[in-house]
Amino acid sequence: MSDLLKKDAANVLKGFSMGTGVFPGVSAGTIALITGIFQPLLDSLDALLTPSNWKMLLRGHASEFAKAVNLRFLLTVGIGTLAGFVLLARLVEYVLAHFPVQTWAFFFGLILVSTIWLLTDIKKWKVSDVLYLLSGIAIGVWLCLVSPTQTPDSMWYVALSGALGVVSMILPGISGSFILIMLGKYDYMLGAINNLEWWPLTVFVLGCGAGLVLFSKGLHWLLAHYERPTMLVLLGLVLGFLIKIWPWNDMEAIARADGLATPAAGQPLHVPGAVIWFIIGSLLVCALYLTTRKSASR
């Protein structure tokens, strides 16, 4: 196998590992950081959003365009990521249907500990930092309380979900799947992936592309000029949103998993299993971030 094909295979595998972002609490951006492709991915996306490169393509210079945007790299990583999403989405849909408490406890551990870990990276706290964090938490809780339990399946909302969910590709530590839960479209998109519903999937991908165009440069500007308050507000939002994935939020889903028609008094709450899977999720995040720090120190 040539060195080029070996590099392609490695990029496909790295992309596949980014597909674990289908788990709420796992950030595709963090995985990209660990596997060493975060900066090349950002550079390629930035080049893809540069008008001069598209002018080059329109003038017929396809090979120069492919080189400028690192198209081979983008395609191999994209294929791997897509494969990871498709294969892992079936697993997530199955465990949510049959083990909802344990699964949400696992996700709760992933999200809570990853957020705390990111907060430990912020040194020399000031009163203003606490206020930014608290404002993010307050907004997150408020959005959870006022957001409807049912959201529209209209294609405009699917596109909006894709546009907001793609933020996880730009910001390590932010989970795109968790954003979809907040928007009420996580289960819907899981079903679309597993049932290969091409129309909503196409609209979602187009929304992701629009989100990259609209938010990529803006987020980079915010992080360049106001990184600390931006991250504190975002992490506060995540903490506030945690009430949305409390393992016992949906008692009807728990009843269905236990073979009951409706929730009943005395039905199992699966607390021991929830505790075990919360710990597993927490330990997984710790291992993930220790690996990130080792990679960054090399």
Tokens of 153: 């399946």
Mean pLDDT across 268-281: 91
pLDDT averaged over the chain? 82
pLDDT category of residue 273 using cuts at 50, 70 and 90: very high
CA–CA separation, 238 and 236 (whole Å): 5
pLDDT at 154: 85
Tokens of 29: 């951006």
pLDDT at 176: 78
Mean pLDDT across 68-96: 88
CA–CA separation, 37 and 8 (whole Å): 13
Percent of the chain with pLDDT over 90: 10
Establish how many alpha carbons lie within 13 A of residue 14's alpha carbon, considering only the half-sphere containing its beta carbon. Answer: 23
Give this prediction's pTM. 0.73
pLDDT category of residue 272 using cuts at 50, 70 and 90: very high
Q: Which amino acid is at 125?
A: W
Mean pLDDT across 148-159: 80
Mean pLDDT across 5-32: 80
Tokens of 40: 């090349």
Q: Is the pLDDT of residue 180 over 90?
A: no
Tokens of 26: 């796992």
pLDDT category of residue 298 using cuts at 50, 70 and 90: low
